[in-house]
C-alpha cells in the first residue's frame, strides 16, 4: 500500500506504532517528556506522508488538557507557597522580568511576516511548555510553531543546565532526593484523578474561558493535594503519558510539508533568541540571590526558563533547595497560565485587520 493510498485505519496504526516505539527510545535516551515528543513525531509520521486526514476527537483533546492540568496542580504545596511569602517582592520582580523578557523575544520573532504576534508570544513564553502547547490553538496561535519553539527552548535549557551547574557552581551530586508520589495505579490516586479531571471539565463547561480545561483541573488538584483529603496521591504515570500523547498527536497530525518548511526557516533566529533568554534569565537568578538569602545555585535553577521536572531533579541531586526552586517555578507557571487569555485577547486586538 502506498502512502498516498493509506486508509484512516492504517494511519491510526502507524501513528500508534510510531508513538510507542519512539517514546520508548526517547525515554531510554533520557529525553524529558519522551511521550509528548514521541506522539508528536507519531502524528507527523502520518501527516507528512499521506493526504488522508485523521483528527483527535475534541473530547479526547480536552481530556489531555485536563490530565496535564492535574499533573501540574499535584506539584502545588502549602509548604512551597509559605516559603514564598517572606520573599515575595524579589520573586515577583524576577517573575515579571522573565515574562517581560519572553514577550520581548516573542515580539522580535513576530517581526517575521510568517509569525503572528500571538504565535510569537506563546512560542517563547517561559514556563509550562506542555500547558502552553495544550491551549495555544484555542488562543489563536499556530500550535505547530508554538510546539516546535517551546520544546526547542526546553531542550536548550536542559542541555545547558548541567553544564552551568557543574562548571559555575560545582556542587556535590547525589546529596538530595526528590519527594513526590510514585505514579502508581493505586485506588486513591485513581479516585483523585477521576475527581479532579471530572470536576475540572465540568467547571470548564460552565465557565466560558478558553484555558479553563487546563486551569480548572489544575486548581481543583492543588486544593485536594494541599488539604490532604485523599492522603498522599499522585497522577499515575500511564495517565500522565495519556495526557501528553493526546496533546502531542493532536499537534503532530496538523503538520504539513509547507508548515514544517516554514518552521525550519525560522529555527536559526529562534535558537539565537532562546540562548539570549537563557543568559538573561541566569542574570535574573543572580539578582534573586543578591536580593534574598537563597544560594546562587538555587536561584539559578529557580529562574531557568523551562524544564520544570528536570530542574527539580537537578536541584535534588545537587543539594539545592528543591522547595524554593519549585515554588518560584510554579509561581511563574501559574502567572503565565492565568495571563495567557488576556494576553491573547490584547495581541489579537492590536493585530492589523
pLDDT in tens, 141-158: 888 888 888 888 887 887
Q: Is the pLDDT of residue 344 over 90?
A: no
Domain identity same for 50 and 65: no
pLDDT of residue 175: 44
| Residue 319 main-chain phi, psi, to 5 deg | 85, 10
The last residue of a domain, from among 54, 70, 89 = 54
The last residue of a domain, from among 54, 84, 99 = 54
CA pair distance 345, 329, nearest whole angstrom: 25
Q: State the CB neighbour count (10 A cutoff) for residue 292.
A: 18
- pLDDT greater at residue 232 or residue 171: 232
pLDDT of residue 77: 65
pLDDT of residue 307: 72
pLDDT band, residue 349 (cuts 50/70/90): low
Domain identity same for 3 and 21: yes
Domain identity same for 121 and 22: no
Domain identity same for 33 and 180: no
Q: Is the pLDDT of residue 353 over 60?
A: no
Residue 211 per-residue DSSP state: T
Please give the average per-residue pLDDT across 245-263, as a whole number: 80
Domain identity same for 223 and 268: yes
* This prediction's pTM: 0.74
pLDDT of residue 148: 82
- pLDDT greater at residue 343 or residue 62: 62
Per-position DSSP letters for 118-186, written without gaps between them: HHHHHHH--S-HHHHHHHHTTTTS-HHHHHHHHHHHHHHHHHHHHHHIIIII---SS------------
Domain identity same for 14 and 140: no
Q: Which domain holds residue 106?
A: 57-350
Domain identity same for 270 and 295: yes
Domain identity same for 253 and 328: yes
Cell reading at 112: 517575521
- Tally the residues of the chain: 353
Amino acid at each position: 500500500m502506498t502512502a498516498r493510498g493509506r486508509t484512516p485505519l492504517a494511519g491510526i496504526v502507524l501513528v500508534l506504532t510510531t508513538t510507542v516505539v519512539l517514546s520508548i527510545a526517547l525515554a531510554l535516551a533520557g529525553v524529558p517528556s519522551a511521550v509528548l515528543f514521541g506522539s508528536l513525531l507519531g502524528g507527523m509520521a502520518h501527516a507528512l506522508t499521506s493526504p488522508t486526514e485523521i483528527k483527535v476527537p475534541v473530547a479526547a483533546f480536552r481530556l489531555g488538557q485536563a490530565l496535564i492540568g492535574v499533573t501540574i496542580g499535584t506539584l502545588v504545596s502549602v509548604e512551597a507557597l509559605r516559603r514564598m511569602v517572606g520573599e515575595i517582592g524579589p520573586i515577583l520582580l524576577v517573575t515579571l522580568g522573565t515574562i517581560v523578557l519572553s514577550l520581548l523575544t516573542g515580539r522580535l520573532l513576530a517581526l517575521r511576516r510568517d509569525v503572528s504576534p500571538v504565535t510569537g508570544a506563546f512560542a517563547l513564553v517561559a514556563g509550562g511548555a506542555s500547558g502552553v502547547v495544550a491551549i495555544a490553538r484555542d488562543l489563536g496561535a499556530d500550535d505547530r510553531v508554538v510546539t516546535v519553539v517551546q520544546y526547542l527552548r526546553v531542550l536548550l535549557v536542559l542541555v545547558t543546565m548541567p553544564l552551568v551547574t557543574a562548571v559555575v557552581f560545582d556542587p556535590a551530586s547525589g546529596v538530595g532526593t526528590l519527594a513526590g508520589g510514585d505514579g502508581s495505579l493505586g485506588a486513591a490516586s485513581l479516585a483523585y484523578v477521576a475527581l479532579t479531571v471530572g470536576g475540572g471539565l465540568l467547571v470548564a463547561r460552565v465557565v466560558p474561558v478558553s484555558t479553563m480545561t487546563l486551569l480548572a483541573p489544575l486548581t481543583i488538584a492543588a486544593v485536594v493535594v494541599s488539604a490532604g483529603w485523599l492522603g498522599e496521591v499522585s497522577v499515575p504515570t500511564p495517565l500522565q503519558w495519556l495526557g501528553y500523547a493526546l496533546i502531542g498527536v493532536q499537534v503532530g497530525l496538523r503538520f504539513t510539508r509547507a508548515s514544517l518548511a516554514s518552521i525550519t526557516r525560522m529555527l536559526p533566529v529562534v535558537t539565537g533568541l532562546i540562548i539570549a533568554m537563557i543568559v538573561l534569565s541566569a542574570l535574573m537568578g543572580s539578582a534573586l540571590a543578591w536580593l534574598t538569602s537563597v544560594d546562587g545555585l538555587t536561584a539559578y535553577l529557580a529562574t531557568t526558563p523551562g524544564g520544570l521536572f528536570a530542574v527539580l531533579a537537578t536541584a535534588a541531586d545537587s543539594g539545592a533547595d528543591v522547595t524554593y526552586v519549585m515554588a518560584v517555578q510554579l509561581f511563574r507557571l501559574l502567572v503565565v497560565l492565568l495571563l495567557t487569555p488576556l494576553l491573547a485577547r490584547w495581541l489579537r486586538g492590536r493585530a492589523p485587520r
